Amino acid sequence: MKYVAMIYGNQAKWDSYPAEKWPEAIAKQDAFNKKYRETGELIGAYGLADAANAQLIRRKDGAPVVTDGPYLETKEYLASFYLLDCESLERAQEIAADMPFADAEPVELWPVLHEAAGDM
């Protein structure tokens, strides 16, 4: 079964993180990614740009309309997500709990109920 694991953040939190600690944090994340890619359980890991770089896309009269966004009602926003392929929910929970930032921030875990072929 596939799962999406998501980590949320906010700009104030990222800005307060000491610059000298980022290399170690990134190294821990890279080690986590390598470990679970090697087991075949991590399909992809994606860090997202700051919320200030997000856009909202709508369609009007058949054409895209792009506005800056996401105009969040909260300071928290999706910072990164991971696509997992695990034998069980319990295994997905173990992997989510092993994420480097899981001791400081919760990891949201969602089962993937439908998947469309990417080569259609």
pLDDT in tens, 31-71: 999 999 999 999 999 988 877 788 888 899 999 999 887 66
pLDDT in tens, 11-21: 777 788 899 99
Confidence of residue 74 (pLDDT cuts 50, 70, 90): low
Specify the pTM: 0.81
The pLDDT, as a whole number, for residue 88 is: 96
The pLDDT, as a whole number, for residue 108 is: 93
pLDDT for 84 beyond 90: yes
CA gap 9, 105 in Å, rounded:
8
Q: What is the largest CA-CA distance in the chain?
A: 49
Q: Which helix (H) or strand (E) holds 24?
A: helix 22-39
The pLDDT, as a whole number, for residue 82 is: 95
pLDDT for 120 beyond 60: no
The pLDDT, as a whole number, for residue 72 is: 58
Q: What is the domain class of 2-111 according to CATH?
A: alpha beta
Q: What's the token pair of residue 91? A: 């295994």
Domain limits, the chain = 2-111
